């Protein structure tokens, strides 16, 4: 088993969305983008729960931005991928690609 364990679909989406958003990867934009991509509502609480788990596994890091008056003086918590997080994404892609090779296509043949 990999050092980070298994990634759920939601975990993988969170990691890929962090990469997609780059420097704007914090709670609200992450939940919004994941919801758009998935075609369903994604709660902010579920995003933060996943991010905390991914940070514990060493796949993401977080840092606090500047406090802002619009947020009642609270700072945004920004997330970024670690090298381990990037490796986890690549390994998951390779695993899924291998599994898909044996899956029948619409014409009934393996891919």
- Please give the residue range of the domain that contains residue 56: 9-101
Q: Tell whether 95 is covered by a domain.
A: yes
Taking the mean position of all CA atoms in its chain, how far away is CA 23?
14
Please state the domain count of the chain: 1
Please check whether residue 78 is in contact with residue 89, taking contact to mean a CB–CB distance below 8 angstroms.
Answer: no
| CATH code at position 23 | 1.10.10.10
Q: Tell whether 94 is covered by a domain.
A: yes
Q: Tell whether 78 is covered by a domain.
A: yes
Q: Tell whether 23 is covered by a domain.
A: yes
Looking up tokens 């780059």, which residue turns up? 22
Please check whether residue 40 is in contact with residue 32, taking contact to mean a CB–CB distance below 8 angstroms.
Answer: no
Q: Tell whether 107 is covered by a domain.
A: no
pLDDT of residue 1: 45
Q: Tell whether 47 is covered by a domain.
A: yes
12-55 pLDDT tens trace: 999 999 999 999 999 999 999 999 999 999 999 999 999 999 99
List all residues 6 or more positions away from 86 whose beta carbon is below 8 Å from its beta carbon. Answer: 19
State the pTM of this model.
0.85
Q: Tell whether 4 is covered by a domain.
A: no
Cα–Cα separations (whole angstroms), residue 109 to 8, 93, 97: 28, 22, 16
């Amino acid at each position: 088993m990999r050092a980070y364990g298994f990634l759920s679909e939601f975990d993988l989406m969170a990691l890929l969305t962090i990469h997609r958003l780059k420097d704007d990867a914090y709670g609200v934009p992450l939940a919004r983008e994941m919801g758009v991509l998935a075609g369903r509502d994604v709660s902010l609480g579920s995003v933060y729960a996943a991010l905390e788990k991914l940070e514990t596994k060493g796949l993401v890091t977080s840092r606090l931005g500047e406090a802002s008056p619009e947020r009642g003086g609270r700072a945004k918590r920004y997330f970024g991928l670690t090298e381990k997080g990037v490796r986890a994404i690549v390994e998951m892609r390779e695993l899924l690609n291998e599994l898909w090779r044996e899956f029948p296509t619409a014409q009934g043949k393996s891919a």
